[in-house]
Copies of this chain bind each other. A is one copy, B any other.
């Protein structure tokens, strides 16, 4: 397998991931948030608390735009803000109760759709999936 063919497989794979992600997160539009706001909340589900700079890096947003979206999330009551007492320039953001609840609803729906996709797979097959995820994460999508 030459590199060029592998590369094309990766591109088309990434495209499929995008498509499935889009389909699974379809429930986002029922809640009153935009797509980038969802990305921020999703990130906070895994890392918390988090500073605007970190978010800007990971969600690929400029710092001013990150700040704007965080303000909107604050206004909606979906996250909370605190200050790092060790370095008072750093603003620490975390999900509010309401934010947790919202993400719980969305993840719940998403997970149901995910369950449908993997319905009927054996435990061994699920383990294979998990290993494939870890392999690609380590070697390609790091």
Instruction: With A3-B115, A4-B111, A19-B60 as known contacts, state yes or no: A13 contacts B141, CB within 8 Å.
Output: yes
Residues of B within 8 A of A63 (CB): none
Instruction: Report A128 CB to chain B, min CB distance, Å.
Output: 6
Instruction: With A11-B42, A139-B125 as known contacts, state yes or no: A130 contacts B1, CB within 8 Å.
Output: yes
Which one of A21, A39, A107, A110 has the highest number of Cβ atoms from chain B below 10 Å of its Cβ? A21
Instruction: Report A105 CB to chain B, min CB distance, Å.
Output: 15
A121 interface residue (CB < 8 Å to B): yes
Question: 0/1 per residue, A1-39, Cβ < 8 Å to B?
Answer: 101101111111111111111100000000000000001
State whether A19 touches B58 (Cβ < 8 A).
Answer: yes
Number of interface residues of A (CB under 8 A): 51
Instruction: With A4-B111, A15-B42 as known contacts, state yes or no: A135 contacts B137, CB within 8 Å.
Output: no
Question: Which residue of the partner chain, among B3, B14, B111, B121, contacts A17 with CB atoms under 8 Å?
Answer: B14
Q: Assuming A6-B129, A19-B58, what are 4 further A-B pairs, CB within 8 angstroms?
A: A10-B114, A11-B42, A118-B139, A129-B140
Can you list 24 contacts pairing A with B, beta carbon distance less than 8 Å? A1-B123, A3-B118, A4-B111, A6-B126, A6-B130, A11-B107, A13-B133, A13-B137, A14-B17, A15-B39, A15-B43, A16-B137, A16-B142, A19-B60, A22-B60, A117-B140, A118-B139, A125-B139, A128-B135, A128-B139, A129-B135, A129-B140, A133-B136, A136-B136
